[in-house]
Amino acid sequence: MKIVVVGSGGRLGGALARELGSEHDVTGLRRKELDLTDPATIRNMLGRLDFDLLLTPAALTKVDYCEDHVDEAMAVNAIAPGVMAEIAKSKGARMIHFGTDYVFDGKDPEPRKESDSINPLGVYGLSKAEGERAVLAVSEDFIVARVAWVFGPDRPSFLDSIIARAMEFEQVNAIADKYSSPTFSNDLAEIVSLLIKRPWAGGLLNMCNSGSCSWQEYAQVGIDVAAACGLPLRTQRVDAISLEEMGFQAARPKYTSMSVDRLTEICGRRPRPWQEAVTDYVKRFVST
Ligand SMILES: NC(=O)c1ccc[n+]([C@@H]2O[C@H](COP(=O)([O-])OP(=O)(O)OC[C@H]3O[C@@H](n4cnc5c(N)ncnc54)[C@H](OP(=O)(O)O)[C@@H]3O)[C@@H](O)[C@H]2O)c1
């Protein structure tokens, strides 16, 4: 299968290009090869390529930056996905676009389902919500895969930074009152690889490791594994801090863990629990 990955320089895009590249003919496009702020450039560049499947993990992902750069956020996260979807449709190709748990307002502690209503709190979530709507307006047969708390070897994330901080400082903390579902980029790439071999089912699809945790619990598991692997940590305890105390510029949703029931049904297997994925990642990529 001929696959194009738009955003192959990112954390998720890097994993997708690598994993799928072992089995398929993959072309990865980084920002310097395709800038998503200009629809004409997208039409010109993507329109020239031949592909059966388009994967679009590229996005403006800096949540606070988006608050002050609304036009850029809307261009990259809201308008570009719709333009890419039109191109994919014109070629008779399939598309998997990547969305976010930040489309929810985070008021309901139950795991979010695909059928739940959305209500983004900030510019990032709003722009991503517009993007997923634009893709599905072009074709309901395309997939919008909502992911959350992505970690992996292609770009450092919260998990790497908490371990680095525990190696440098005697005290570290993480937010204890914000919950979601961590997602190992390599697991996600494997899921996509499996998904494209199964009977195709379009629409919204939650795509993360199974289970739910607070940022503090997530960090503590990472630190526990790093300690067990013998990393020279100055502390092995992650203290609690509240979302409010962090004083982020953009409002963040509190409860956005996601149900993987639909994904499990489509793939025929449940993604492994986030704790196993974190353990695997820290052992293989952080502690070596
Ligand atoms: N990371 C998370 O925890 C998380 C959580 C929920 C949802 N998501 C979603 O998952 C997807 C992948 O996220 P990620 O963690 O892989 O993010 P990432 O590492 O920030 O990757 C995003 C990629 O998009 C590229 N990009 C940004 N602006 C662009 C532009 N104008 N033109 C072309 N490319 C541009 C970035 O290029 P540069 O490297 O040059 O900036 C980067 O390579 C995104 O759709 C994101 O919204 C992520």
* Helices and strands (H and E) in the chain: how many: 12, 12
60 CA distance to ligand 1 middle (Å) = 5
CA angle 140, 152, 67 (to 5 degrees): 65
Secondary structure of residue 271 in the 3-state scheme: coil
| pLDDT score recorded for residue 19 | 95
Cβ–Cβ under 8 Å, residues 257 and 181: yes
Residue 140 CA to ligand 1 center (angstroms) comes to 23
> In the beta sheet, which residues pair with residue 205?
145
Mean pLDDT of 84-98: 98
Decide the pairing of beta strands 150-151 and 172-175. Answer: unpaired
Q: How many angstroms separate the alpha carbon of residue 148 from the centre of ligand 1?
A: 12
Please write the tens of the pLDDT for every residue from 169-189. 999 999 999 999 999 999 999
User: How far is ligand 1, taken at its centre, from the CA of residue 61, in Å?
Assistant: 5
220 residue type, one letter: Q
DSSP for 124-160, please give it: HHHHHHHHHHHHHHH-TTSEEEEE-SEE-TTS--HHH
What is the rounded average pLDDT for all residues in the chain?
Answer: 96
For residue 124, is pLDDT > 90? yes
**Tens digit of pLDDT for each residue in 3-57?**
999 999 999 999 999 999 999 999 999 999 999 999 999 999 999 999 999 999 9
* Residue spans of alpha helices (H) in the chain: 11-21, 39-47, 63-68, 70-73, 80-90, 123-138, 158-168, 185-195, 215-228, 243-246, 261-267, 274-281
| Cα angle value 113/58/203 (rounded, 5°) | 30
Whole-number Å distance, alpha carbon 111 to ligand 1 midpoint, is: 24
Q: With 80 as the cut, is the pLDDT of residue 195 above it?
A: yes
Distance CA 228, CA 209 (A): 22
Residue 288 confidence (pLDDT) above 80: no
Pocket mutation for ligand 1, best pick of 4, 6, 12, 18 (most atoms within 8 Å of C-beta):
12
Hey, which of 150, 158, 179, 208 would you mutate to test ligand 1's pocket, going by the most ligand atoms within 8 Å of its Cβ?
Answer: 150
- Closest atom of ligand 1 to 75 CA is 31
Any idea where the domains of the chain sit in the sequence?
2-156+181-210+259-272
> In whole angstroms, what is the distance from residue 136 CA to residue 195 CA?
18
Q: What is the pTM of this model?
A: 0.96
How far is ligand 1, taken at its centre, from the CA of residue 193, in Å? 20
Round to the nearest angstrom and report the end-to-end CA distance of the chain: 34
CATH of 2-156+181-210+259-272, one of 3.40.190.170, 3.40.1260.10, 3.40.50.720, 3.40.50.620: 3.40.50.720
CB of 161 closer than 8 Å to CB of 172: no
* Crossing angle between the packed helical segments 80-90 and 39-47, to the nearest 10 degrees: 30
CA of 235 to the centre of ligand 1 (A): 31
Q: In terms of C-beta density within 10 A (0-12 exposed, 13-18 middle, 19 or more buried), how is residue 155 classed? A: middle
* Residue 126 in tokens: 């709003």
Question: For residue range 229-239, what is the model confidence (pLDDT) as tens digits?
Answer: 999 999 999 99
Q: Which of 157, 111, 102 is nearest to 132 (CA)?
A: 102
Q: Is the separation of the CB atoms in 277 and 209 below 8 Å?
A: yes
Instruction: Output the residue whose Cα is nearest ligand 1's atom 5.
Output: 148
- Count other Cβ atoms within 10 Å, centred on residue 9: 18
Residues contacting ligand 1 via CB (< 6 Å):
7, 9-13, 31, 34-37, 57-61, 76, 98, 100-101, 128, 147-150, 155
How far, in Å, CA of 173 to CA of 123, rounded?
27
